[in-house]
Chain A
Amino acid sequence: AQKITQTQPGMFVQEKEAVTLDCTYDTSDPSYGLFWYKQPSSGEMIFLIYQGSYDQQNATEGRYSLNFQKARKSANLVISASQLGDSAMYFCAMRERKNRDDKIIFGKGTRLHILP
């Protein structure tokens, strides 16, 4: 069963608008972490933001914020005031730890296109 679901394969957004990229996850562990990564056309994986399952407040990093709704198992990425350089592939990921097994699972990604 898929543990990380990103339902938007692709999105087109006008420059300067806010963007919400959806992510839902599935886990039975009380302790986990959620991440968002950006992959531009150059191929590098750029870490954007992290949310721990026990964090009381939504994570924010500059123009990025994570809308964490624990009961819904949702961790949407919000990009405010989008820029042309935000065009990229975006991956949601979850880190689970069981005993010494410590792995990070990724979703299929959302390709974001920012239109001038």
Chain B
Amino acid sequence: DVKVTQSSRYLVKRTGEKVFLECVQDMDHENMFWYRQDPGLGLRLIYFSYDVKMKEKGDIPEGYSVSREKKERFSLILESASTNQTSMYLCASSFLNLRVKDTEAFFGQGTRLTVV
């Protein structure tokens, strides 16, 4: 079974702290994604990566950065956490869209981040 693991289920951080959210996948997927989920807004794409050291901005990259030093690991970084970054963060991974099958994204269990 595909496994996408996020390092924490719940996090509470203070305003101004640097926050790292870690995501690891074990299926040798090329693509990795970070989303945030807020009520009424669905899932919004923050950043994605199609290869090691490659990163692309999604729809809401402001206030975030990412790091992908190894294929299996994709980190989301909040340089200076703010209260408006309180949210559920979901990591996902997938194969490159070159395949007929197995094209869907697999998700981690989510990290609920509260910034106080």
Contact residues of A with B, CB < 8 Å? 6, 9, 33, 35, 43-45, 47, 50, 52, 91, 93, 95, 97, 100-109
Contact = CB atoms under 8 A, between A and B. Distances in A.
B80 to A, nearest CB: 26
Contacts of B41: 108
A24 B94 CA distance: 23
A103 B42 contact: no
Contacts of A33: 97, 103
A45 B107 CA distance: 6
A40 to B, nearest CB: 12
Interface secondary structure of A, over-half rule: strand
B61 interface: no
Contacts of B45: 103-106
Interface residues of B, number: 30
A108 B31 contact: no
B109 to A, nearest CB: 6
Nearest to B88: A43
Contacts of B42: 6, 91, 106-109
Contacts of B92: 45, 104
Contact of A106 (B35, B56, B88, B100): B35
A103 B40 contact: no
A50 B104 contact: yes
A32 to B, nearest CB: 9
Given A93-B105, A103-B45, 17 more contacts: A6-B42, A33-B103, A35-B105, A43-B88, A43-B109, A44-B110, A45-B90, A47-B106, A52-B100, A93-B43, A97-B97, A100-B50, A101-B50, A102-B50, A105-B45, A106-B44, A106-B45
A73 B59 CA distance: 22
